[in-house]
Structure formats: C-alpha cells, structure tokens
A = this chain, B = another copy of it.
C-alpha cells in the first residue's frame, strides 16, 4: 500500500488516522461483533456514536445551545431547495449574493420557490475576481434571509469577512467549514456537504438557529423539513450511519490530533500562503483571484502555456500528486488543500511545480 497526495476538490482526502480506525473497526466495532454499518441507528451503540459526533462538533465550532445540529442527506444541492422551503413560509424575498457557480445554482433553485433579489455579486477588478464588499451588499426591504457562499470551490474565491445584515444570514459553507474558527452567533443557518472537510459524501450538515424552525412553506416534503429533522434528533428515518460515524472520527481527529480549529487554521493558512507564494513567484503560474479573496481551501491556477496542461497533470500523477485538474467548467489546475491534506503534500506540490516550470516552462 502506498498512499498518494490527493488534491481532489471533493469527495476529498480524509485523515489517514481516520481511515485506519475505520479499517480496523470495519468488521467488529469495539468488540460488539458487528460493523457500524450493520447497527440499528436506534441502538445504544450507534446513538453513542452520533451523540459523540455532535458533541465534538459543537465543541469545535462552539455552537451555542440555541442552535440545532442536523445531519441530513442530499448534499448542498438539496439545501438549495430546503433553504427557501424552510425559511420562505412567511413570505418576503430571498436575498442572495452570487460569487460563482454554486451561488448561481442556489439562486436558480430558490427562484422556483420565492422571488429572489440579487443583493451582491463578485466582480473582476484589474482581471482579478473579488467578492462584493460589505457596503456593496444591498438587501431588499422585505428580505426573508440573506444567502451567500463563503467559499466558491470552483473559482477559489473566499469571503475575507463576514457579511452582516439585519435578516438571518444563511451560508453555504460546504468547502470551508471547520477550516478556521467561525462565530456561529452571526448566522441564522449554515449548511455544508460533508465531502470536503467533514467526512464522506452522503452526509449534509445543517446548523440552524431555533427560531428559524417555524417558518416553512406548506408544500415542503417532510424529509426536507429542518423542524422534523430537529424534533427527531436527525433520526426521523435511518440516517447515513456509516458516513456519520466517519464524520465523528474526523471531528475527533480535529479536536484531539490537530488540537482544535485555531491550530487547524494556522496550518491551513501556512499551507495556502506557501502555495500562493510559489504561484506568485513564478511567471509560469497565475491565480485569478484578488489577494484578499484567495481561498485557503481551493487554489486554482493556470500555466502560462495551456498546451502543457495535460503534460503537467500526467507528470504530477506520476509524482504521486493526484487530482490537480481544474473543474470541468473552467479548466486549468486546482489544488484543493482541505484540512486532511497534509502540509507535506503542499510542499511536494510546490517542489513539483517549480521543477516543471524550470524544465518545461
């Protein structure tokens, strides 16, 4: 067995310690004679796994008591409908900030359920994209909520500040949740697909303030209801138990191996800083994002000579650096350097990039 460095944008690398524990417990969890996958979700054993996962997550993010933690299914794409269906029952307009492909998808789905007001957009300034500044965000007078995407995975565009508004702030935090400490109190609702910084695909995390559970539209499917999910402790029906178990192992790793989100943020900022520095130091590479909005999770970059893209990817693959192709909609390269991507992976990538530029560039 030889593990390689995996820069996949998602489903993404998981901590090796987590995979090893899952492997070791695969046929027999803690001497109980069965796999976690084979447990009733209502068994004492599984409920203890789920409770510990939630407690560790609450601890990591310092989630206040008046917020519910929900483990759902369907990814962020399902949240695109769940948000207007859960928050739109009292009428009003859905306000969205559009900073890229995911924000746009969220808007398109919301438009099917509510009038949507575009409260702000990303823009290009001197060829570099940036998110709108706080003063540029204009919510409508009847805003039910304000939605934004804290980190655009494809564009590599991340908010460097927390937009404020007098209506509930809703955030798609799929690709940067748990990368740095977050002040949950500033939000009405946070959601995130698991497959970047949480665990395997198939689990969706929702953190929602209590007072927002009572404004759903009548036509909401029961399984889309945050309130039903909250009232049933995420077990209205069978949850994706193994994905939840693995996410719990990730939370435990973050808390006890890494030492919490401040430490994780230090590591993430160091990884991102050195990778951007390598890009900036070499004319052969470029990144299209304004300095202050460069994502610390997803680092898109282009080669000066795009005809070398395929060679770059093939050589990187040979060097054990996997999944560096940019999203199919934009091309180029992208290194996703989530929590579980070790600093050694970034160091190896930088060395490879410098070498490639020298020999081929």
Q: In the complex, which residues 280-297 of chain A have their Cβ closer than 8 Å to any Cβ of chain B?
A: none
Measured between beta carbons, the chain B residues less than 8 angstroms from A2 are 28, 33
Does A132 reach chain B (CB closer than 8 Å)?
Answer: no
Measured between beta carbons, the chain B residues less than 8 angstroms from A109 are 221-222
Does A91 reach chain B (CB closer than 8 Å)?
Answer: no
Write the nearest CB–CB distance from A71 to chain B, whole angstroms: 11
Does A163 reach chain B (CB closer than 8 Å)?
Answer: no
Candidates B13, B34, B113, B195; contact of A238 at CB < 8 Å = B195
Q: In the complex, which residues 184-231 of chain A have their Cβ closer than 8 Å to any Cβ of chain B?
A: 193, 195, 200-203, 219, 221-224
Does A161 reach chain B (CB closer than 8 Å)?
Answer: no
Candidates B34, B81, B243; contact of A222 at CB < 8 Å = B81
9-residue interface stretch from A39-47, A252-260, A269-277: A39-47
Does A322 reach chain B (CB closer than 8 Å)?
Answer: yes
Q: In the complex, which residues 75-119 of chain A have their Cβ closer than 8 Å to any Cβ of chain B?
A: 75-78, 80-82, 85, 109, 112-113
Does A323 reach chain B (CB closer than 8 Å)?
Answer: yes
Asked if residues A77 and B223 are in contact (CB atoms below 8 Å), the reply is yes
9-residue interface stretch from A14-22, A307-315, A347-355: A14-22
Asked if residues B1 and A201 are in contact (CB atoms below 8 Å), the reply is no
Measured between beta carbons, the chain B residues less than 8 angstroms from A328 are 42
Does A9 reach chain B (CB closer than 8 Å)?
Answer: yes
Asked if residues B38 and A202 are in contact (CB atoms below 8 Å), the reply is no
Measured between beta carbons, the chain B residues less than 8 angstroms from A20 are 26-27
Residue from A11, A12, A42 whose CB has the most chain B CB atoms within 10 Å:
A11
The chain B residue with its CB closest to the CB of A202 is: B240
Copies of this protein in the assembly total 2
Write the nearest CB–CB distance from A58 to chain B, whole angstroms: 23
Does A73 reach chain B (CB closer than 8 Å)?
Answer: yes
Candidates B16, B240, B323; contact of A200 at CB < 8 Å = B240
Instruction: Give chain A's interface secondary structure class.
Output: loop
The chain B residue with its CB closest to the CB of A40 is: B8
The chain B residue with its CB closest to the CB of A22 is: B26
Residue from A6, A35, A82 whose CB has the most chain B CB atoms within 10 Å:
A35
Measured between beta carbons, the chain B residues less than 8 angstroms from A8 are 34, 38-40, 43
Write the nearest CB–CB distance from A53 to chain B, whole angstroms: 15
Asked if residues B27 and A39 are in contact (CB atoms below 8 Å), the reply is no
Measured between beta carbons, the chain B residues less than 8 angstroms from A203 are 202
Q: Roughly how many angstroms separate A238 CA and B243 CA in the complex, as a whole number?
A: 14
Measured between beta carbons, the chain B residues less than 8 angstroms from A10 are 40, 238
Asked if residues B40 and A201 are in contact (CB atoms below 8 Å), the reply is no
Q: Roughly how many angstroms separate A337 CA and B239 CA in the complex, as a whole number?
A: 21
Given contacts A12-B38, A19-B35, A73-B74, 13 further A-B contacts (CB under 8 A): A3-B34, A8-B38, A11-B39, A13-B34, A13-B38, A34-B322, A75-B237, A81-B223, A85-B221, A109-B221, A200-B240, A221-B224, A242-B242
3 A-B pairs closest in CB distance: A202-B240, A4-B33, A81-B221
